[in-house]
Structure 1
Amino acid sequence: MSAQQTPEQTPESDKEEGIQETFLTHLFELRDRLIKSVAALLVVFLGLVYWAPDIFHLFSKPLLDALPNGGRMIVTDVTGSFFVPMKVTMLVAFLGALPVIMYQLWAFIAPGLYKHERQLILPIVTSSYILFIAGMAFAYFLVFPTVFQFMAHYNAPLGADMATDIDKYLSFAMTTFLAFGLTFEVPVVVVVLVKLGMVRINKLKEIRPYIIVGAFVIAAVVTPPDVLSQLLLAIPLCLLYELGILVARFYEPKLESQE
């Protein structure tokens, strides 16, 4: 009798075993992808760690150039002079290893995507990386010197010496890099929303006044409390929104009746 029940039970057990094997296969693949990503990060970091003081000096150059004669940065934490340059070096290593990390992520999710989705994701990931780096470069080469020069001249009449702790400078720089890096992703977000049919270009034009107001609100929240730095974030945000609209024209799905 058990021999008669076996054929009826085998398909269910085979199905459960197949699901379990598939799950374990994906889990093992994810583990391997994570190990490769971490290994790439460590390789780049170890290759740069010897130059950690030089990297931090380059990282802090916008502030050092804005300080008056005799001005310098300070360390208020016992271990700050060691760990802060290490953190900066790790950030640079992450940016350097990011293409490998993104490739590992792409290789993991690509088999589960349709062909048209794979064709869309690769340009999105590539452009997102380039735009994020561009946002950080914009902050480093334009925003930092402008803001620091303004603050240095503002402190002079007060008779206050501008001596910034390196840990606080790192926190400020990381926040600013993140804010401008994400700001430069606006064209990608606009194009994706239009491509997926979630919003039409005409609608994006209609909400333009709200976007402008929102840009200044975001700039007031994430930047230092001075008008100059807020303008340096809000204006590019508005311009990048317009750029996204222009690029999205080439990706907007066609409708049967479209003016």
Structure 2
Amino acid sequence: MAKKNLNEMSFLDHLEELRWLLVRSTVAILILAAVTFFISDYIFDVIIFGPTDPNFITYRALCNLSQNLGFADTICVTEMAFIIQNTNMEGQVNVLIWTCITAGFILGFPFVLWEIWKFISPALYETEKKHAKLFVITSSLLFFTGVLFGYFVIVPMSMNFFATFTISDVVINQFSVDSYIGMVKTSVIACGLFFELPIIIYFLTKLGLVTPEFLRTYWKYAVVVILIVAAIVTPPDVVSQIIVTIPMLLIYEASILISKIVVKNQKKVNG
């Protein structure tokens, strides 16, 4: 049966399209999750538990930066004073399953984006439909950049902070494996999605829900939120907070610029 045009599709037709989008995306993620199962040893030992090693690349880079700026060894990491343990009978099995699913989602994100594009493309102009590859590539690059930022910046800094924070010498840090991995997964996925902000702003501006003036008006509030987040996830030193804050501010500024371009193009089209 031929695919209906946008004007011919009812509300139920749209729901059916959305349902199949979710089905295809879920199947793709599960297939990739099954693939990652065969390299789960590498994923856990090298990637996930990598930031628990004081010789992790981020810690060495921060230490070198600290020394070059004349702060001596103030932000050098020499040890991780905590242990990771499993306290549930089925804990490690659950962690393995959900970690593979998370890895499948991250690897399958470009495919999910392609499915989303096919779902929204009927509402776009013909000239905009030609930008499908650009949309998928740009969005994927932003997502993977955010994931890397979360893994190499947010995770190590958060881990260093929580590992060294203590309310009393009586308390020993012994983190559960699901708590630790939950922190890693939340950090990388949240950063990946945050880096999608310019794409989100692009579509919100086209729908008339956001304007450059709105984003600029609330810029100071965005700065405050970003600074609060940076203060929470980083150790109490200026260098670490700046490293986290600057990329997030650049993403917000890029979103404002994109919104301006969209509004400018819409004015040209409308005469």
**TM-score, normalised to structure 1's length?**
0.69
Superposed CA RMSD in Å reads 4.0
1:1-259 mapped onto 2 (5 Å cutoff):
27=16, 33-57=21-45, 58-65=47-54, 68=79, 72-111=83-122, 113-119=124-130, 123-154=134-165, 158=169, 161-195=172-206, 199-201=210-212, 204-217=215-228, 219=229, 223-224=232-233, 227=236, 233-253=244-264
Aligned residue-pair number? 235
Q: Secondary structure in 1 aligned to 2:175?
A: coil
Structure 1 runs not aligned, ≥5 long: 1-18
Instruction: Return 5+ residue gaps in structure 2 as ranges.
Output: 1-7, 55-76
**Structure 1: how far apart are the matches of 2:214 and 2:21?**
40
Look at both structures and tell me which one has the larger radius of gyration over its CA atoms.
1
* Richer in helix (by share): 1
Task: Give distance in 2, aligned partners of 1:45 and 1:196.
Answer: 35
8 Å CA contact 1:187–1:241 kept in 2: the answer is: yes
Q: Deviations over 1:134-176 (max 9, x none)?
A: 1121111122223323444445993754332111112222332
Counting aligned pairs with the same residue, the percent is 26
- TM-score calculated relative to the size of structure 2: 0.66
For residue 208 of structure 1, report the CA deviation from its aligned partner: 2.6
Counterpart CA distance in 2 for 1:238 and 1:22 is 39
Q: Could you tell me how far 1:75 is from its partner in structure 2?
A: 0.4
CA distance in 2, matches of 1:220, 1:236: 11
- Provide the secondary structure at the position in 1 that maps to 2:84: coil
Distance in 2, matches of 1:184 and 1:25, equals: 28
Local SS of the residue matching 1:158: coil
Equivalent AA in structure 1 for residue 144 of structure 2: I
Alpha carbons 1:191, 1:244 under 8 Å: kept:
yes
| 8 Å CA contact 2:161, 2:234 repeated in 1 | no
Shift of 1:92: 0.6
